[in-house]
Amino acid sequence: MIYKRIIVKGIVQGVGFRAFIYRNALKLPTLKGYVKNLPDGSVEIICRGEKKEVDELITAAKRGPLGSRVDSVEITEIEVEKDIEGFSVAH
């Protein structure tokens, strides 16, 4: 399992971006984590899963839903102390 923090910048708030990521994450059986809006207008995704599934979510984040515009995607490997259960939209 790998852990990633993904920061997506561009027009990614108010366009259904979190719901888009949530729907894509639910299709990936090992993926756990959350997606949330950040105060600076970007979206943060924290995820844990098999490399292939994490990569699929990153590909979806780079694409985004209709109406969004992804300007940049920053990906960092992280260590998470507590186990993450399921995938959710954080507020």
87 lies in some domain: no
- Catalytic residue (one of 18, 23, 48, 63): 18
Q: What's this model's pTM, rounded to 2 decimal places?
A: 0.95
CB atoms within 10 A of CB 89: 13
Q: What is the pLDDT of residues 6-53, one digit of tens each?
A: 999 999 999 999 999 999 999 999 999 999 999 999 999 999 999 999
37 has catalytic annotation = yes
Residue 9 lies in a domain: yes
The domain tally of the chain equals 1
Out of 5, 23, 24, 37, pick the active-site residue: 37
Which sign does the torsion angle of CA 81, 88, 62, 15 carry? Answer: negative
CATH number of the domain enclosing 27 = 3.30.70.100
Grade residue 79 by pLDDT with cuts at 50, 70 and 90.
Answer: confident
Does the pLDDT at position 4 exceed 80? Answer: yes
CA torsion, ordered 35, 43, 41, 72, to nearest 10 deg: -170
